[in-house]
Amino acid sequence: MKMLLARVPNIILILTFSFALATPSLSIAANGVEKTSISTIINHLRKINVSSDDPNIPLAAIPLLTEFKHKLRDLILNTINETHMSGKTAFETQRIVLEKLKGIGIKVEDKEDDTIKSDLVEPSYAYGRILRISIYRPASHPDLLVATTTIGISCGEDTSLYLFKERKSQWSLILTQEVNGYNSIDAAQGLFGYGISNDSGKYFYLVTVNITPWCTSNWQRIRYNVFRITSRSYESKLIISGKDTIYLGVESSPYRLHVKSQSFTLKYYGGDKLNPDGTAPLKTIRYQFKGDQALKETE
């Protein structure tokens, strides 16, 4: 059982699945980091300043944000493979990634998102911030590693998830959930959370949840996705996507995600109808996993 709490035009969701060995073409410096590539991307992004309450992504930033995510992903994968033979834990590998970035002057802020809670608004916002990098090994899946990278955007954040699988002492990318090419911040994956079910012997399931970033209002959209992953081939399939209205002004953690072997539960305040006193009701949605389907239970 795995339980994670969120820390934490139409939505554009790009999901890419890789089943072959990932062999990124990288220019690696002596210390194992793409010094020029990552640093140059950040420097270009830092030159893009917008109003701190501007929900639009500047055109110049759109391709750079995608490249930024992919360079971080490739750095993580290379580091996983470099440290694998030395028996490093997921946390130790995460620390090495952060040290590599620090060694070339790239700061990972590693703090909770404060865009909703803060009343102090900076007059401008510069892109190119790394808020968090996390590498986690699920207890029930010792041959998997989950990495998430969270970068800053105006009025919020955008998290990408990468699932890596060990094959013959080599780690490769088998599933990606990231959003690219968007021109409005509400397409990004804010306040991201996920959970992985135990393996049933035939399938296991990855559930992800995120909330639309925005510059105003505690009323936003909560979105969730369920992926079925086969136990032998690790082929991935998106079997369901859903969304609803969420109210963020009730608890510090806007939702609770609980993933079991054959089901998941998601709780949050919101929905389309208010309580008689005008407050947002607590909603609970439950799905049962049935092979290639996730069946919603009646509320």
How confident is the chain (299 residues) per 10-residue block, as mean pLDDT?
A: 38 35 37 64 94 94 97 96 83 96 91 44 84 95 96 96 93 97 98 95 96 95 97 94 94 92 96 88 95 86
In a 3-state reduction of DSSP, which class is residue 84? helix
In a 3-state reduction of DSSP, which class is residue 214? coil
Structure tokens at 93: 């590998």
- With CA atoms as reference, report the closest residue to 9 among 184, 264, 219: 184
So what's the pLDDT on residue 110?
A: 75
So what's the pLDDT on residue 234?
A: 94
- With CA atoms as reference, report the closest residue to 286 among 270, 253, 262, 269: 262
Residue 70: φ, ψ to 5°: -70, -35
So what's the pLDDT on residue 15?
A: 39
So what's the pLDDT on residue 94?
A: 96
So what's the pLDDT on residue 299?
A: 64
So what's the pLDDT on residue 84?
A: 77
Residue type, 246: I
Tell me if 4 sits within 8 A of 224, measured CB to CB: no
Residue type, 23: T
Domain ranges, ordered by start, for the chain: 2-8+12-292
Structure tokens at 147: 């990495």
So what's the pLDDT on residue 201?
A: 86
In a 3-state reduction of DSSP, which class is residue 136? strand
- Give the predicted TM-score (pTM) of the model: 0.85
CA 62, 67, 71: angle at the middle one, nearest 5? 155
So what's the pLDDT on residue 203?
A: 94
Residue type, 99: E
